[in-house]
Amino acid sequence: MYPLLIPVVVILAGALVTGLKSFGINQEYQRAVLFRLGRLGTMKGPGWYWLIPFVDRVVKVDKRTITYQLETQETITRDGVAVRVNAVLWFRAESPVQVVTSVENWMSATVQAAETALRDAIGQSELDNMLKDRITINRRMQELLREASMNWGVEIDSVEIKDVDIPEQMQRAIAREAEAIREKRARIIKAEGEQVAASKLSEAANIISGSPGALELRRLQTLSEIGTEHNSTIVAMLPVELIHAARKIANMPDAEEK
């Protein structure tokens, strides 16, 4: 009896294995590329699907966006400055069939192409543009990378420069340049302020010189402002008109005697 039971168990185990091989499940973000006797078939998923055992073979592809930090690249800018740059890449499998059939390892190929595009984009850019306008360089890298990735069925969502490391000597030069620019701006602003102040003072002087009363009021205002500073000694000049009037009064008796 036992000898007859062993073949039955083997048959049931084989049937179970065959049943498991003929049944597959894909998640919502997965697609299965079908190969039937080596030939490309229809794509499966998401959900469950049936396969012909020992005839059909599937390769699953994840369609979610992949975030990958590129290794630091040492390269030279267009104006001859050695820099160390790294970037972040976002990409995904747009066409699972192309991803499986056109390239052996689509993730590794995309990363290698991104590193090459990063070096090319930095080599075509000057240091000032790389520090001030990263958006343009990011766009250039994405265009260079998309030319290669489209043939693989890979969509490049974005690629952005993360860190830029420049030599210490160049950092000091950039700092001195920025300081000189700020000093130049400060001097220009100060000169413009002095020009406006001189113009206003000239206008005020013209107005005051044409009115003796205004000149006297300005003198009294100046004395009042000086007095608020708690100075111990104030030397004030009398108006010329008062001096002339005093002289006339002092000379009046002499004139009457004559």
* Tens-digit pLDDT profile for residues 201-232: 777 777 666 666 566 666 666 666 666 655 55
> Is residue 54 included in any domain, yes or no?
yes
Position 255 scores a pLDDT of: 45
pLDDT of residue 256: 47
Under the banding of pLDDT at 50, 70 and 90, the label for residue 247 is: low
Spatial separation of the C-alpha atoms in residues 40 and 100, rounded to whole Å = 10
Between 25-29, 112-116, 234-238, the lowest mean confidence (pLDDT) is in 234-238
Residue-level pLDDT at 232: 56
Across residues 58-64, what is the average pLDDT?
92
* 173-196 as b/e: b if 16+ CB within 10 A: eeeeeeeeeeeeeeeeeeeeeeee
pLDDT at 17 over 70: no
The verdict on 73 and 157 lying in the same domain is yes
Mean pLDDT for the stretch of residues 27-40: 90
Share of the chain above pLDDT 90, in %: 17
What is the Cα–Cα distance from 81 to 166, expressed in whole angstroms?
8
Instruction: Tell me which residue of 132, 150, 142 sits closest to 93, measured CA to CA.
Output: 150
Tell me if 84 is assigned to some domain: yes
177 or 35: which leads in pLDDT:
35
Single pTM value for the model: 0.61
Q: How does DSSP classify residue 150?
A: G
Asked, for residue 241, whether it belongs to a domain, the answer is no
DSSP SS3 for 41: strand
- The residue range of the domain holding 108 is 66-166
Domain count of the fold of the chain: 3
| CA 110 – CA 115 distance, rounded (Å) | 9
4 within a domain of the structure (yes/no): no
